[in-house]
Amino acid sequence: MDDEELWYRAVMTRDPRFDGWFFVAVTSTGIYCRPSCSSVTPRRSNVVFYPSAAAAQKAGFRACKRCRPDASPASPEWDRRSDVVARAMVAIADGLVDREGVGGLARHLGYSERHLGRLMSAELGAGPLGIARAQRAQTARLLLETTNLKMPEVAFAAGFSSVRQFNDTVRAIFAETPSALRRRANRRSKEISSGSPISLRLAFREPLDGVELFSFLAARAVPGLEDGSVAGYKRALSLPRGAGFVALAPPTPGERWLRAKVSLEDLRDLTAAVKRLRQLFDLDSDPDAVGEVLSSDPQLRPLVARRPGLRVPGATDGAEMCVRALLGQQVSVAAARRLAGRLVSLHGERLPAGLLAGGKTTVSARFPSPERLGSLDPASLAMPASRARALVSLGRALTAGGVSLEPGVERGEVARELRGLPGIGPWTVSYVAMRALSDPDAFLPNDLGVRRGLEALGLPGDPASALLAADRWRPYRSYAVVHLWSAAGDRRAAPGKQEVA
């Protein structure tokens, strides 16, 4: 996407597929928009394109009040790429700059602050602080519109260091004061109260196969941690500053968003919660690009046509997903759920009662922390001795930093770290890359469900043949895996004695 004439054609046709890829600023109005904005199409001579909302804001443009460009889906490039800018964008979206500053981000990525700033400014038109500032503004508007928190509480929950900085940023980006934003929202909604969960709309690019996505998560829901069905999904969250609880509903016809209600122990975790929910449901995917690549294979084309918009279910916590993958090696989905449920029941941390107020759910606890798992006696765990030792070893490695699954980590380094631990094989490493690290090109040639899916297509299911076939599906082999699981049919067994979480 480097042809501005192509971008302008997307603006003329109001194509929502390009939302988040770039932003459209109009010099005659001083406003920047999504490509799909329903406003009158501006003249080409009045249009300037920017690679990020932060770059448009830095240039002095205000966010459009009609299309709300700051709430666009993120660019799918950040998951597809593994370079330092992409990793930085993932970490910033999780709130790392708000928690640890630009210095913390640079240390996390292994670069100097100056060099990181140069790289990001060259590609995105703004440095780490500018990207984080744009994100804080979006979080602040969300809190202003959905809660009755006092202004200082909104400012600090959104990540601002002072109320003055909060006021100045909101006025600069939205051309309204925080109080004006709240008054306008109050006229639209009568259900705002200080103790209520925060209501979210999580935007995505169409199409999205919500039935398959919610069914997948429901079939693997761990008792006590998750509660799911085709009609909705609930779970406990482990976030940087505390616990959370979320209830999500699938989109209704015509909607381009998932509806979510999030309750947080610490409101400063809202940014991280939004990012992790987007990852769980793969909402930043570009389904048209995925479909185009996979449909180029005649044998896979019927699967893609039958399931347009199929997503790769992700994770809200990388450490949790890694442990669940380890538990699921060589056992059925049902057995793995029982093992994980037992861990949650015996060693999980109970959710504060206030997070669950006002709703019926079986969710009661967070997944055990790596620190807790690393402190266990392997002999006390009701599972094979070798797996118990591997579980405790993984918990200790995650705690000590021998393995890091934090947002923005380098995938190749994670693979090397995991391969060095006892009891972790190639399937687990690839599965973690696929679901915990959002790698769109992971592949599982030894997976039983993949083999069954290939055989359903009349293809050889052995690992060597599977790898050969999968070369045609790069860089979206993870999506091909999900299509093959779907083709295998029986979700309780497929992908059989391997995939679980």
What residues act catalytically?
A: 33, 447
Burial class, 231, CB count within 10 angstroms (exposed 0-12 / middle 13-18 / buried 19+): exposed
Residues 438, 282: contact at Cβ < 8 Å? yes
Q: Which residues pair with 48 in a beta bridge?
A: 25
Q: Count CA atoms closer than 13 A to 377's CA, side-chain side.
A: 2
**Helix H segments across 201-356?**
210-219, 270-280, 287-295, 301-306, 318-327, 333-347
Instruction: Identify the CA nearest to 244 among candidates 260, 256, 220, 259.
Output: 260
For 208, which DSSP code? -
272: its two tokens: 């991280």
**Helix H segments across 175-257?**
178-188, 210-219
Distance CA 431, CA 496 (A): 14
249: its two tokens: 């509903």
For 228, which DSSP code? E
Using CA atoms, how far residue 451 sits from 223, 250, 293, 316, 466, in Å, is 29, 30, 21, 28, 8
Cα 215 to chain centroid distance, Å, stands at 18
Using CA atoms, how far residue 224 sits from 336, 342, 347, in Å, is 14, 9, 11
Residues 26, 47: contact at Cβ < 8 Å? yes
> Which phi and psi angles does 193 have, rounded to 5°?
-145, 150
Distance CA 447, CA 487 (A): 14
> Which phi and psi angles does 339 have, rounded to 5°?
-60, -45
Is the CA virtual torsion 83, 87, 88, 89 positive or negative?
positive
Residue tagged 């029982």 (tokens): 338
Distance CA 247, CA 259 (A): 8
Distance CA 466, CA 457 (A): 12
Distance CA 38, CA 41 (A): 8
Distance CA 43, CA 64 (A): 17
Distance CA 134, CA 198 (A): 20
**Helix H segments across 309-446?**
318-327, 333-347, 370-374, 385-400, 411-419, 426-435
For the chain, the straight-line distance linking the first and the last C-alpha, in angstroms and rounded, comes to 35
Q: Is 3 strand, coil or helix? A: coil
